[in-house]
Amino acid sequence: MMRPEEIQRELERGEKAEREGNSGRARVCARRATGIALEDYYSRMGKDPGKDAMKLLAQFSEEKDVPANIHEAIIRLQARVRPDFTSASEHPLNDARLIIDFLHTTL
């Protein structure tokens, strides 16, 4: 079962962080929101998902039925910050919403 309140709370925290110019915090919140959705997804499948959002993103990126656009969003969210402090995910909350919406349609 999806935990929409927890997911929404993380997305709202991320939006606040973006407004305040804290892109690092926004990225963390996007990953957390996606991690919660992935925990639910794997739990529904009878698997023990664990709590590490980055591991869940990595695991989900290896699923064979993940559409290309979702896979690309996962890769962007997983990416580390570059030496110049930029990120592959210019809009991490959008990437998170894309993944979460996909998971919602598969549950």
Task: Give me the pLDDT at residue 45, please.
Answer: 87
Average pLDDT over residues 67-77: 95
Query: For position 69, which CATH number holds?
Result: 1.20.120.330
Q: Which of 4, 3, 55, 49 is nearest to 31 (CA)?
A: 55
Cβ atoms within 10 Å of 15's Cβ, excluding its own: 14
Question: Number of structural domains, the chain?
Answer: 1
Name which residue leads in pLDDT, 60 or 84: 60
Residue 84 clears pLDDT 80, i.e. is over it = no
Task: Give me the pLDDT at residue 1, please.
Answer: 53
CA 39 centroid distance within chain: 11
Are 2 and 40 within 8 A, CB to CB?
Answer: yes
**Can you give the pTM of this predicted structure?**
0.90
Q: What is the pLDDT of residues 27-70, one digit of tens each?
A: 999 999 999 999 999 998 888 778 889 999 999 999 989 999 99
Are 99 and 37 within 8 A, CB to CB?
Answer: yes
Instruction: For residue 59, give its domain range.
Output: 4-106
Give the DSSP letter of residue 90: S
